[in-house]
Chain A
Amino acid sequence: MIPNVLSIKDLSVSVGEKEILKSVTITVKSGEIHALMGPNGTGKSTLAHTVVGSIRYKVNSGDLFLNDVNLRDLQVYERARAGLFVAFQEPVTVQGLRFLNYLRTAYSSLHPDEKLEYKKFVEEVKELLAFFGLDSSFADRGLNEGLSGGEKKRMEALQMLILRPKFIILDEIDSGLDVDALRVVSKAIARAKENGAGIIIITHYQRILDYIKPDFVHVLINGRIAESGNGDLAKLIEERGYEYYKGGEIDAKIG
């Protein structure tokens, strides 16, 4: 099978007047796990939002392709239909919009040719809620309404599994998770990988990477990829800190 490829190439992005991302290149193939690390405010979430297609993020130059589909031509919902999924750092709340109702609408939008058997779907959602250690009543709650930080993250991971995307960006999915939750969320990521998804994990911590070993690690400093390497790079970062990158940028070893 030919692997799917998400290709972010020489991407420069500004928010308002300010240029945040500068010529960022990351190529993800199905089944691969990439970690994206970097100090606060360097543009990691900006990258996630840009890939999603929010109009507030203006692409100045560069390419964004999923296989041969130019994502820049597509609206937000069309990108999702092309196979993209982003778990947001701060998932929004929609009062009164029942999770199950929302999820079903999303699912049938993303898989229009598939017959959705409602009862099975509900069962699957309830099973997954149990898997993530969440009460089944969460299915009937308003979207993220009254959820704790960690609960929201688990709900994002749940959607990632149910919606079966081709490419996944997880923006700090690990922040705010307790030890047990971190373990199940890692399992969920491993499962998504098994299903053939290509994944970018944005994180500040080595912790999650102990559970899921990344194939590649990229360091984003001031909107640029300062270094790319294999899984071991994450440990190095932990040891030497971002101070290391001050003063000059190291040439990317892997594109």
Chain B
Amino acid sequence: MQKLDDVEDVKKLNEIKYDFITDLKPVYQTKKGLSRDVIEEMSREKKEPDWMKKIRLKAYEIFLSKPVPTWGPDLSELNFDDLTYYTRQEDRKANNWEDVPKEIKDTFDRLGVPEMEKKYLAGSVAQLQSEGVYSRLRKQWEDKGVIFMDMDSAVQKHPDIVREHFGKIVPPSDNKFAALNTAVWSGGSFLYVPSGVQLDLPVQAYFRMNSALEGQFERTLIIAEPDASVHYIEGCLPAEELVSKGDSLVPISSVGVSDNVVTHSGENSRVTRTFERPYDGTMMTFVPLSKGNSFKLTVEHPVLAIKRSSVSTERKPRNGWKSEVSTQKLITAKPDYVRAEQLEEGDFIVYVAPTESKDNEGMTPELLRVLGLYAAEGSVSYNKAIKTTVLAFSFGKSKKEKDLATELYDLLKSLGEQANLIKTAGGYYTVSSYSKKLIELCETHVGKGAAEKKLSKVLMELPPEKQRILLDNYLRGDGNVYVKRPFKSVMVRASTASKMLAFQLQEIIARNGTFANLSIRKGGDDTIVGRKIRRKDQFIVQYTEDKRHSQVRKAGNNFYVPIRKIIKEKFKDKVYNLEVSKQNSYLVKGFAVHNCTAPTYSQYSLHAAIVEVYVKKAAKVRYTSVQNWSDNIINGPTKRSWVEERGRMEWVQGSLGSKITMTYPSSILRGEYASTSNLNVALGVGPVWKDNGAKVVHAAPNTTSKIVAKSISGKGGMAVYRGQLRINPGAYNSKASVQCDALILDDMSKSNTYPHNEILEESASFSHEASVGKISEEQVDYLMSRGIREEDARSLIVLGFLDDVLKEIPLEYSIEFNKLVRLEMSKYGAVG
């Protein structure tokens, strides 16, 4: 047996003390080590019924009689007397962020986890702010008869159901860890889904459940009554939704890896992966105060927002609309991610003005004046008569317009360009030029054709002061600036046929400190003086310099914009999502949305959770977990399900980090036509041992199982697949397939497979495939020879290896997995 301590790095890791408890004054904590007294004390402290205390004490006897497992990784360093078995729940999260080890903080930073989430994941704040949302959701479930609460409360409130199901699937006699858990369990989740109820457990609640579950000796019990189903939803955007790339907005479906997008802080960040999947469900349209910025999201997508209810005042609503808000409360409130579904009309979403800029010396104030006027009034056309391309600026008839035309004419002359000033037969003023240089400049930076105008990257990146020059000149033409009575407030209004230009102007105005409304005047057939014409859509950007009446509040480079309306509709098509390298967010039509999760971090050195899942007749449960523990953890949960007739159990498991992981989710197929699938991905890079696998027992005829296990080992890591498959005599026509693939990243690392297959029924069919592969230097060279960096090349190879399973797991998890794979692979980055 390989001793992990042989690996140099483990020693270093062992020196890191993740012991937060020393600085804390826990309200209640049992003394170290385990005894009958400790267990009785604990049970008393929890005010448990007598039956639960008896279960605990009996399990303790069994624990004492069972040996520590000797197969698999070396567990000899585990000292059961050195653990604290019970700390009262409330105290556990109250750790100091300052005390979190630097390397964990660094990992969060490298992953770009937002501040609040970091603290949550590190256990230094009790709850995410979205907790309120979560409890509202729970109310909805309760109405359907769903019970979802922590396990301790369930023992108190639903003793009958708990007593009937607890410890039946995983009895304490199962193994030493199971006995230990049963004796000292604390926390975890209880989920009861009544007959016929379909529960879409949202991914956030799911994460919550998982993080609760993955406590030290947590206990989870899931009961899906006949015909019930449990699964969760993910968050994505429809294909045409526009995402900010800094200089322009593009459909999300067109965003590619390495593209830059703007994040919620206004900075640019690189897209590291893109996602696409079919979606059949509710699509939400958010119409903000600025209607032109309406955008669509799936119900689960987290949006950066401030709930109106959290910032409202007692004052009467104005305009007979939503309750009045306190400006003071609003500008000091911290926006947080809220699931799209939980947003209501009147809540505030966050428009972000990009902050990054890059000056360009060549863009002189003079040139910007010209380009501003061109964007508003200019056009380029080919004059057949003189066979030349002509640049023309069309002005009106007024004195002001004449002055403007003259000014432009002088300006072009002073720039040394050819120019003509013409008064047309109708009395309009026009400035034209044949200068090739000027034409090219206008076309490159502003484009041509009224509906296609679009400012170049160079212009969109200029510092706001310089963009202001462009904007001011754009607005100089007639009909753009009004003085409104009675307040004499100045209203600025720009109208364009180019959608892109409208968004860009809005962004430039925002970068200069003001939020402008964007609206669309629909085009269509119209009649003017008896003549039929076809109008194009007009995009109108407008703002008032007087902010007294604005419903939008500014905070730094953010603008809090109320939601005017929310529309829900059925949607069936592809949806998209992005993985962004820092900050985990991007802007949709200027508004910030989020989608990512990060590794969990635990202060305990041993985790031995138990999960029992009852899948009753024709019920369906999918249980997904991605564990990513810090490297000092020994994690050995026991997860098992009983699947009755026609029931289906799906296990999806991803395991990263942690020193030793031993987990083998099991399904016992007890009823005819029951089925199960088990997807298992383990990534063991560094001095870690991943001992993962699956267990299936076919105990009834016509049952089906499928196991897919993928492991990756690198930097001295060990990845083991340990499977047990048994088809009992009499389980006629059952089918089972096992596929396990291993990828080894370097010569220091190892992989092993231990399949135990017992096929005791002749009419059953069974297949087993296994493969072990290595990343070859030729593969890396090949990808690098096409311009791809070494670490990216390795990530691509690893992700390719995982492709068929990543498709199966929920998007959030697969994004997280992706990120972590990249992070792990960055350890391979070539130096020099």
Contact = CB atoms under 8 A, between A and B. Distances in A.
A217 B299 CA distance: 64
A159 B773 CA distance: 26
B800 A106 contact: no
Interface string A29-57: 00000000000000000000000111010
A254 B265 CA distance: 61
Contact of B778 (A92, A142, A159): A92
Interface residues of B, number: 34
B258 A109 contact: yes
Contacts of A91: 782
Contacts of A86: 785
Nearest to A75: B830
A97 B776 CA distance: 14
A104 interface: yes
Contacts of B258: 105, 108-109, 112
Nearest to A48: B785
A94 B250 CA distance: 31
Interface in B173-214: none
Given A54-B781, A92-B778, A106-B788, A97 B257 contact: no
B637 to A, nearest CB: 29
Contact of A110 (B253, B786, B799, B804): B786
Given A117-B254, A118-B255, A77 B782 contact: no
Contacts of A119: 253-254
A81 interface: yes
Interface string A80-91: 110011101001
Contact of B800 (A81, A94, A109): A94
A248 to B, nearest CB: 36
Contacts of B793: 77
Given A80-B786, A86-B785, A159-B786, A95 B800 contact: yes
Contacts of A118: 253-256
B787 A110 contact: yes
Interface string B545-577: 000000000000000000000000000000000
B787 A98 contact: no
B787 A52 contact: no
Contacts of A108: 256-259
A91 B800 CA distance: 17
A52 B777 CA distance: 13
Contact of B784 (A76, A88, A95): A76
A92 B782 contact: yes
Contacts of B785: 52-53, 76-77, 79-80, 84-86
A96 interface: yes
Contact of A97 (B259, B787, B800, B830): B800
A68 to B, nearest CB: 20
Nearest to B773: A95
Q: Which of A84, A88, A92, A142 has the most CB of B within 10 A?
A: A92
A80 B258 CA distance: 17
B799 A97 contact: yes
A143 interface: yes
Contact of B776 (A84, A92, A142, A163): A92
B802 interface: yes
B787 A81 contact: yes
Q: Which of B253, B779, B797, B800 has the most CB of A within 10 A?
A: B800
A138 to B, nearest CB: 16
SS of B interface (majority)? helix
B790 interface: yes
B255 A76 contact: no
A117 to B, nearest CB: 6
A142 B800 contact: yes
A179 B777 CA distance: 33
A159 B787 CA distance: 12
Contact of B799 (A56, A75, A84, A96): A96
Contacts of B250: 117
A159 B800 CA distance: 19
A13 to B, nearest CB: 15
B604 interface: no
Nearest to A144: B782
B407 interface: no
Interface string B787-805: 1111011001101111110
B783 interface: yes
A73 B93 CA distance: 52
Interface in A194-235: none
Contacts of B256: 104, 108, 116, 118, 121
A244 interface: no
A242 interface: no
B786 A106 contact: yes
Given A56-B777, A116-B259, A118-B255, A95 B801 contact: yes
- The 5 A-B residue pairs with the shortest CB-CB distance in the complex, in nearest-first order: A97-B800, A96-B800, A96-B803, A109-B787, A76-B784
Interface of B: 250, 253-259, 773, 776-779, 781-790, 792-793, 796-797, 799-804, 830
Given A86-B785, A92-B782, 15 more contacts: A53-B785, A75-B790, A77-B787, A77-B789, A79-B785, A80-B785, A93-B779, A102-B786, A109-B789, A118-B256, A119-B254, A121-B256, A142-B803, A143-B800, A163-B787
21 contacts: A52-B781, A52-B785, A75-B784, A77-B790, A77-B793, A81-B787, A92-B778, A93-B779, A94-B797, A95-B773, A96-B801, A96-B802, A96-B803, A96-B804, A101-B257, A108-B256, A109-B789, A109-B792, A116-B259, A117-B250, A119-B254
